Amino acid sequence: MIKILINLEQKLLRISKKNRFKIYVFILLSLLMFLSPYVPYANVFIDSQMAVLTSLLLFLFLFRISIKGIFLVVCVLLIISSIFLLLDQFDRAENLGNYIFNILLLQTILFILKPYGKTKS
Amino acid sequence: MRYLSRIIGFFSKPQAVYILISISLIFFLSKNLLPEGLYISGHDSGLALDSKLFLETRLYAWDERINFGEDNSLLFGSLTIHAFDYLSSLIAGVPFAGNQINIFFWLSLIFLAGFTFAYQLKQKLGRNFVYIFPYFILINFYIFQSIFILERAKYSLVSAALFFLAIIVSVIDKKLSIQFGAILSALLFSILNGGSWLGLPLYGGVLVILFVMSVFIFLDDLRNKKFELSLRFFSTIVFTGLIFILINSYSLFPYLRTFLKTDYKILQNTTTIDSNKAWLDYISQGSSFLNIFRMQGVPDWYETKFTPAPMHPFSDFYLRNPYLVVLSFLIPIGAFASLLCVRNSSQKKVIAVSSVIALISMIFMAASRSPWGFIYEFLYNNVPGFLIFRSSFYKFGYAFIIASSLMLAFTLSCLTTGISSQKVFLKYKNQINAILIIAIILSWLVYHQKLFNNEIFNWRENFSTEVSIPQYVRDYSEYVKNENINDGRVLLLPKLHNVWLSDGYDWGYWSLSTIHYSLTGQTVLSNSSGLNKQEREWVDLLYAAVSAGDAQRTESLAQRLGVTRFLLKMDALTGEGWSGGENPDLTRKKIESFNFLQQEKQFDKWILYKIKSSQTPLFSTENNLIELTQARITDVSPFLIKNRAVLKDEAVDEKIDNFIRARIDTLNCQSCVIEDAIQPHEFIWSRLLPNSVLFPLKLSLENRALQKISDPYIKRTFFYNLLLKRSAEVSSMFLYKTHDAYIIGSLKMIRDSINQVLSLSRQTSSPDNFSDAKELLDYVEKIKELLVSNVSLERSSQMSSILRDEISRTIWSIDQLKNYYAPVLDNMEQWSSEKVFEVDVKSLPYQLYLDKTSLSRRMDRTEILPEIIINDESIPFNEITSDRVDNWISLPSNNLKLGKNKLILKFGAPQNILKISENIEIKTPEGERKCVRGSLAFTPQGDTLLLKVKTSGSALKFFPKSIGKDELSEFLDWNTLITINDDYKDEYFVYHYPLPLADSNFYICGEKNHYPVFQEFIIQEIFKPKVIGLAKTAQEAVDNNKISYQRINPTKFKVNNNDSHNPYILVMNQRHSPSWRLKNSNGSKLNNPSFPIDLYATAWIIDPSQGKDFIVEYQPQSYFHFGLLTSVGAIIGLGVYAFIILRKKR
């Protein structure tokens, strides 16, 4: 068990080291996005949902997440939203549904932009 | 047989077997849904109870059967769908359109369309896809939600869209030529056309599909730098459009005039989302993305956003069952997994297009809901005509269903192919494939099991569209047909529900249009929804006369409205049930006491009565008219018994003056407006405050808008709105504690606006103008309240003296503005007892009449008569000696002069009409309460009560409660409750309370558990006396005309008047439309303009020199004939062209 954790940690470290600039850029830009709804004038154009959407977009493009990866995220989110529905947490489930829509939109855009023949999972 | 074997040969053997089995399953499903003897009918399904007769009515541009007639030119396109209805009824051997064959036909059509489309994609998406997709497209909640009304318009477009996609795929794949593809597509959309032009919004889904495909094909060609595909695609679309217009000329030409005259203006008029907010909220209450993903979200499923509608037959099952909730999530997972399954570029193209179609149509289906609702809102607010898509879920839904089903079917097709291609199963590949496909289809059917039960026709408890038509209804229909009863209208009794206006029966039928619309060719009159305002007034008068048992008035009104028969239905829903009308037993008692009626025939629960002395009612002549100044009939009806009325503004023929014998002026109670509650205009939250760098931009935009206004009245309203804007900013700045300098700046701007309003008021309005004074109160009272509250709060001690002074100065400015209207506003109390009227006398003699029923009453229920003051002179008045016309009493009018006069009706001080009867203890959500109970001395006039309360140190609660069995047991719903604070000791708490139900008790409760204590608790009646002025302008002329007419068809009549020697008015007792044209006997058009008479019927002024024989024709019918010729010509031409192409190919 400990070995697995150690391996995982090392793997994460390797990924983090390899992508350190991307991580910094992502954190910085995401912070900016999440602060935007509280900044005068910027809040006219960006609300919290838009901030989440833009950050997601950044994440997917910066880290070159595969369509399969996005689909897995969608599946996990769908499962979570189904749990919310069963617990009568309708508002939460609905909000999650909105995020799923946005992610699927990104997935479709990525799918279209990827050249033919490279979509094999 | 040869053709059959060729068709079967076109498909593979398994496909032929698959189709046969599936069609058989659909047949058994149709039989199961609609057992023998039951038919779909009602709920505005348009499923006729006599499909042949109904089809015949679609051939005419005027439908004379509904009340006073209706334009039908919009509905020619529905000929195809009603032709299917008729054919199905022929095959089924019944006259009813809602039969098993019809339901089987439409379900099969959708299935076959799905199969055809899937078959075209076989090469791209795999063999298994062809078998799975048609079931997904047919069996889903979107299609089955509307099966209870067999919504053929929607089904036709779903099928057409699928066939069209199949054609487009063939054209793109070069299996079909552009010309042939366009001809096929146009024919397809012409036959499966969405019903009529009313079904135009249903093309929303097709538009989304075409838009996405266009963009994809164009971008793909741009990338490849070849535009062959784009050319093929766009050429097909353009040719399809052109041929479609040609083929549909028969429905387009008659509608074009209506469209250009009225509908175009409506479409040009971009509306705002706010005006339809309630409807959009309803329609999108369930359409969250999460629901749409799972192919749910149908508006009818929900009562509120998250609560299933209790009356829906199966929504609760799918929304509450945890297993089904979890299973429903497999749909989006399966659909979007298709993006991972693609193996080649052609698959990728199809799936990419489908995915985008699914997502874009979801945005439209969700309408104004966040987060993408701004797109819909933008289009709604800015694109002319987009408002036709206001029921967006239904209009765009099928594009999503097609795309999502395709993606899901493709994923499952990949999955099944993958499994069956495993080495282990290689030997039994085909069998495994078949088993997996059957398993998928069965699972889909099991999941949708609730759709296969005939409960889906129940749309409300005890109401279903699946009904057994009673024999007496059929007998009645046969009688009308055999006896050829078409002389005059039949009044339907009892009266329909006043709000629902629906026609319902205890055997289950319910519809917003009367049953006769789909049952007979007879003209029926009822208070149904198709009537316009004035027609409704006439019809209500007739029903009121029946209800009052007034035989003379009933007969006179019936004759006037062209009624020759009364049909009493003892099976009609009554007021005891939901949407029930008046009690048929009571109505029967009344009409059986009328001597002018005789029973013609009884059909079990339907009884037909005939007026003994009925005349030819459709055409008549008139020589004497009464001019009205307001388009209201009910109030002045006693003065219209002898003569017909005309609203002069509507009478375009100048010769009308020669026929006017009297004029009725409806006088407005000017002071009454002051008694209405102040309706403060709300502050609109402002994003840009004066401390913003962008604020000067806002001011410059306002200035630019101001410069464009020249009319002083509009300018004044503009300044009032500026006042509201600035005040909203001040309110926000107080809240955000903005620097005083900005607030002071805004206050100065407020004062500037006040000064502008004052100066414009001096130009445009007199100080005793009641409506302008009321407008002022509506605008400034809230602003004053805001300023006063801020200057008197604790904060005022912390604010700078300059700011405090500025606020005080602004309050003073508001008071100065109010001072201008001091004659009205100084003593507002007096207007509850003094009613001021302006009488504009244009000719003498002039007689004033006062409606006695509109007066306030004493506690003994006798009317309180006023003191009459004309031009500041009190006039003695004795009710007993004054003339009467029905409930109108004449007022002394000798003192009236030509020109403007001031009439004041002075009543005594208003009295308290609340009678407190007892102390009572009740249970409320807050526990036991001690209250006093009272009631009103009589049912007051108007729709509002005035509450005036002085408390005695403790707060009070007040609410009415309708008297009934549960009056005391159900105090859970406190919607009508108001709380009166304890600080109204010295001044009155004044409140305008909406008049509750007539049988209500009133409760006044103490806030804690003790009986309420108060100094005064007054309820006053707010009444508006009705006064008219009658000016007799000329002597009445004798009408010697004798008229006869011959009905050619509903749109054409021949009229003869042999005795005409003087000009006369020809009246046609059908709803007025400028499209009714007068021609002389040789068919040449006469230029006599038509005008509405009695505010609804059609009339012309005719000079004897114009002849004795005329033809009256509804013009759109000739456009239909011309359009039909064009359509037939186009179809023949296209047929010949297609034949030549096919021969050349061979």
Q: Do A41 and B694 touch (CB under 8 A)?
A: yes
**How far is Cα B1117 from Cα B406, in angstroms, rounded to an integer?**
44
Residues near B131 by beta carbon (within 8 Å), at least 6 away in sequence = B18, B118, B437, B441
The pLDDT of residue A118: 45
pLDDT tens-digit map of B180-192? 999 999 999 999 9
Of B1081, B1013, B1017, nearest to B1046 (Cα)? B1081
Q: Do A119 and B687 touch (CB under 8 A)?
A: no
**How far is Cα B1018 from Cα B937, in angstroms, rounded to an integer?**
12
Establish if B424 touches chain A: CB-CB under 8 angstroms: no
Identify which of B103-112, B281-290, B568-577, B651-660 has the greatest average pLDDT.
B103-112
Which residues of A touch chain B, with CB atoms under 8 Å apart?
40-41, 44, 49-50, 53, 67-68, 71, 74-75, 78-79, 81-82, 85-86, 88, 90, 93-94, 96-98, 100-102, 104-105, 107-108, 111-112, 116-117, 119-121
pLDDT above 60: residue B962? yes
Q: Do A101 and B293 touch (CB under 8 A)?
A: yes
The pLDDT of residue B205: 95
Write phi, then psi, for B167 (nearest 5 degrees).
-65, -45
Establish if B333 touches chain A: CB-CB under 8 angstroms: yes
pLDDT above 60: residue A92? yes
Residue A41 zone, left/alpha/beta (φ > 0; ψ -120 to 50; rest): left
pLDDT above 80: residue B142? yes
pLDDT tens-digit map of B242-299? 999 999 999 999 988 777 777 666 666 655 556 677 777 788 888 999 999 999 999 8
Shortest distance between the Cα of A64 and any Cα of chain B, in A, equals: 16
> Residue B925 — very low, low, confident or very high, per pLDDT cuts 50/70/90?
low
Q: Do B325 and A86 touch (CB under 8 A)?
A: yes
pLDDT above 90: residue B540? yes
Write the CA distances from B75 to A92, B46, B128, B151, B1131, integer angstroms. 45, 12, 42, 16, 20
Least confident of B459-463, B831-835, B1050-1054: B459-463
Instruction: Please give the average per-residue pLDDT across B169-178, as a whole number.
Output: 91
pLDDT tens-digit map of B334-370? 999 999 999 999 999 999 999 999 999 999 999 888 7
Of B95, B86, B94, B100, nearest to B28 (Cα)? B100
Report residue B910 as tokens. Answer: 């208003």
pLDDT above 80: residue B151? yes
Report residue B671 as tokens. Answer: 């002071």
Residues near A3 by beta carbon (within 8 Å), at least 6 away in sequence = none
Instruction: Please give the average per-residue pLDDT across B445-456, as a whole number.
Output: 94
Q: Which of B325, B329, B352 sits opposite A108 (nearest CB)?
A: B352
Considering only CA atoms, give the Rg of chain B.
35
pLDDT above 60: residue A116? no
Instruction: Please give the average per-residue pLDDT across B962-987, as a whole number.
Output: 68
Helix (H, G, I), strand (E, B) or coil at B1034: coil
Establish if B359 touches chain A: CB-CB under 8 angstroms: yes
The pLDDT of residue A20: 87
Shortest distance between the Cα of A96 and any Cα of chain B, in A, equals: 8
Shortest distance between the Cα of A56 and any Cα of chain B, in A, equals: 15
Instruction: Please give the average per-residue pLDDT across B651-657, as a whole number.
Output: 76
Residue A113 burial (CB count, 10 A): 8
Whether the Cβ atoms of residue B554 and residue B545 lie closer than 8 Å to each other: yes
DSSP string, B137-182: HHSSHHHHHTGGGT-HHHHHHHHHHHHHHHHHHHHHTTSS-HHHHH
Residue in the block written with tokens 């039949």 = B490
Instruction: State the Cα angle at B510 between B506 and B512, rounded to 5°.
Output: 145
Q: Do B339 and A96 touch (CB under 8 A)?
A: no
**How far is Cα B199 from Cα B78, in angstroms, rounded to an integer?**
9
The pLDDT of residue B655: 84
Write the CA distances from B626 to B562, B622, B623, B645, B662, integer angstroms. 20, 11, 10, 5, 5
**ipTM score:** 0.85
- The reply to whether omega before B371 is within 30° of 0 (cis) is yes
Of B454, B468, B391, nearest to B144 (Cα)? B454
Q: Do A93 and B352 touch (CB under 8 A)?
A: no
Q: Do A50 and B336 touch (CB under 8 A)?
A: no
Contacts of B359 in chain A (CB under 8 A): 101, 104-105, 108
The pLDDT of residue B651: 61
Contacts of B356 in chain A (CB under 8 A): 108, 112
pLDDT above 60: residue B428? yes
Of B765, B735, B734, B758, nearest to B747 (Cα)? B734
pLDDT above 70: residue A120? no
Mean pLDDT of chain B: 89
Instruction: Please give the average per-residue pLDDT across B393-399, as a whole number.
Output: 94
Residue in the block written with tokens 């001040």 = B730
Residues near B25 by beta carbon (within 8 Å), at least 6 away in sequence = none
Whether the Cβ atoms of residue B574 and residue B582 lie closer than 8 Å to each other: yes
According to the 3-state scheme, what is the secondary structure of B406-424? HHHHHHHHHHHHHHHCCHH
Helix (H, G, I), strand (E, B) or coil at B749: helix
Strands, E, within B446-513: which ranges?
A: 458-460, 463-464, 466-467, 489-493, 503-504, 510-511
Cβ pairs A/B, distance under 8 A: 90
Whether the Cβ atoms of residue B240 and residue B247 lie closer than 8 Å to each other: no
**How far is Cα B413 from Cα B127, in angstroms, rounded to an integer?**
8
Shortest distance between the Cα of B218 and any Cα of chain A, in A, equals: 14
* Of residues B583 and B578, more confidently modeled: B583
Instruction: Please give the average per-residue pLDDT across B452-459, as a whole number.
Output: 91
Selected residues 285-314 of chain B with any CB under 8 Å from a CB in chain A: 288-291, 293, 305-306
Of B433, B387, B386, nearest to B412 (Cα)? B433
User: Quick one: what percent of chain B has pLDDT higher than 70?
Assistant: 95
Least confident of A94-103, B647-656, B706-715, B1014-1023: B647-656
Q: Do A107 and B345 touch (CB under 8 A)?
A: no
The pLDDT of residue B11: 73
Helix B178-191 vs helix B1116-1145: angle between axes, to the nearest 10 degrees?
140
**How far is Cα B373 from Cα B471, in angstroms, rounded to an integer?**
51
Report residue B377 as tokens. Answer: 């809102």
Establish if B370 touches chain A: CB-CB under 8 angstroms: yes
pLDDT tens-digit map of B437-447? 999 999 999 99
Residues near B491 by beta carbon (within 8 Å), at least 6 away in sequence = B524, B525, B526, B542, B558, B563, B565, B566, B567
Residue in the block written with tokens 């203890």 = B921
**How far is Cα B755 from Cα B766, in angstroms, rounded to an integer?**
16
pLDDT above 50: residue A119? no
* Of residues B827 and B850, more confidently modeled: B850
Q: Do B289 and A50 touch (CB under 8 A)?
A: no
Contacts of A71 in chain B (CB under 8 A): 336-337, 339-340
**How far is Cα B597 from Cα B609, in angstroms, rounded to an integer?**
6
Report residue B165 as tokens. Answer: 């996609």
Q: Which one-letter DSSP state was computed for residue B1111?
A: E
Strands, E, within B165-294: which ranges?
A: none
Shortest distance between the Cα of B381 and any Cα of chain A, in A, equals: 19
Helix (H, G, I), strand (E, B) or coil at B563: strand
Contacts of B692 in chain A (CB under 8 A): 40-41
Report residue B1129 as tokens. Answer: 């010509």
Instruction: Please give the average per-residue pLDDT across B604-622, as a whole number.
Output: 87
pLDDT tens-digit map of B466-500? 999 999 999 999 999 888 777 789 999 999 998 88
Instruction: Please give the average per-residue pLDDT across B595-613, as a whole number.
Output: 94
Of B357, B370, B297, nearest to A98 (Cα)? B370
CA dihedral B1095, B1100, B1101, B1102 (to 10 degrees): -160
Shortest distance between the Cα of A33 and any Cα of chain B, in A, equals: 17
The pLDDT of residue B998: 72
Residue B468 burial (CB count, 10 A): 14
**How far is Cα B373 from Cα B1009, in angstroms, rounded to an integer?**
49
Shortest distance between the Cα of A38 and any Cα of chain B, in A, equals: 13
**How far is Cα B978 from Cα B1019, in angstroms, rounded to an integer?**
14
The pLDDT of residue B613: 83
The pLDDT of residue B5: 59
The pLDDT of residue B1145: 74
CA dihedral B103, B454, B517, B56 (to 10 degrees): 10
DSSP string, B288-320: -HHHHHTT---GGGBSSSSSBPTTSSSHHHHHH
